[in-house]
Amino acid sequence: MKNVMILTGAGQIGMAIVRRMGYGMKIIIGDKKLENAQSISKILNDAGFDTFPLEMDLSSRTSIKNMISEAQKYGEIKMLINAAGVSPSQALIETILKVDLYGTAVLLEEVGKVISEGGVGVTISSQSGKRMPQLTAEEDAMLACTPTDELLSLDILKPENIRDTLHAYQMAKRCNEKRVMAESVKWGKRGARLNSISPGIIVTPLAIDEFNGPRGDFYKNMFAKCPAGRPGTADEVANVAELLMSDKGAFITGTDFMCDGGATASYFYGPLKPKK
């Protein structure tokens, strides 16, 4: 038997984190597009990792539980990397809420029931969730603690209260952060840790879809005017994940780390501040 890692979302960010943390482990790679899981699985196996690709849908509890059962055939689940998601230019409001918000909440809950002692998880949120007005303390608490199957019935997430796909994405990412706080308390009872990372613009197929989508100029302006003056790379997100998932992060749990080249700082106090 081996220690097992689960990766959901066979994209560039997920693969970069696996390369830092997945050596010596059995790595289950789940993606809605089996071909994505297979192609990353091949790259990793060719580099000495031991992976198994499978089709899974983050928006389905059944699919998540099937993936967990498959993973447990190889040993105890020691690490979770959730890098599955859809962006505002890729999907409809309902899909974004179902995958990025609800699916992430279910995954953290289900893996939290089986994560082994000393286990760690990271989920990829986004700085997008911070580029909107604060929610009330009550709204934050509802996002954090509402039972997963009731989440999408909350008034603040009803379709009439969501302006567009960007708003849906922002709410989903805000929810990720709150969910990680609440779930980390449960993970802690098992001796495990859980955190999220909020990247800025990271060049991946998802970001390239955004550059070519209706908000392309907005995104290009965003990285041009952030303190770093460029988009980031998946490996820079993996640097943060390595801190959070290794023993160096032993005292870090239930929190969110931004890795956005300063875009959020510039949004509040610099040239990216929206004009009134």
Q: Which residues of the chain form contacts with ligand NAD (CB under 6 A)?
A: 8-13, 31-33, 36, 56-59, 83-87, 99, 124, 126, 199, 201-202, 204-207
Closer to ligand NAD by Cβ: residue 116 or 224: 224
CA within 13 Å, CB half, 185: 6
Query: How far from the centroid of its chain's Cα atoms is residue 20's Cα?
Result: 17
End-to-end distance of the chain based on CA atoms, in angstroms? 59
Crossing angle of helices 234-245 and 12-21, in 10° steps, is: 40
Closer to ligand NAD by Cβ: residue 223 or 247: 223
Catalytic residue among 26, 98, 130, 173: 173
Nearest to 129 by CA among 164, 167, 174: 174
The CA distance from 24 to 5, in Å, is 10
Closer to ligand NAD by Cβ: residue 141 or 208: 208
Active site residue 169: yes
Q: Minimum CB separation from ligand NAD for residue 128, in Å? A: 7
Catalytic residue among 26, 78, 98, 169: 169
45: Cβ–Cβ under 8 A, 6 or more apart, which residues? Answer: 51
DSSP 114-153: TPPTT-EEEEE--GGGGSSPPPPHHHHHHHHHS-GGGGGG
Four-CA torsion 71, 74, 75, 78, nearest 10 degrees: -50
Closer to ligand NAD by Cβ: residue 12 or 251: 12
248: left (phi over 0), alpha (psi -120 to 50) or beta: alpha
Closer to ligand NAD by Cβ: residue 3 or 123: 123
Task: Determine the Cα angle at 100 with ends 77 and 14, to 5°.
Answer: 50
CA distance readout (Å), 5 to 49, 66, 68, 180:
11, 15, 10, 18
46: Cβ–Cβ under 8 A, 6 or more apart, which residues? Answer: none
The CA distance from 264 to 19, in Å, is 28
Closer to ligand NAD by Cβ: residue 244 or 247: 244
Q: Minimum CB separation from ligand NAD for residue 82, in Å? A: 8
Q: Minimum CB separation from ligand NAD for residue 1, in Å? A: 26
Q: Minimum CB separation from ligand NAD for residue 46, in Å? A: 19
Q: Give the residue numbers annotated as catalytic, written as ranges.
A: 169, 173
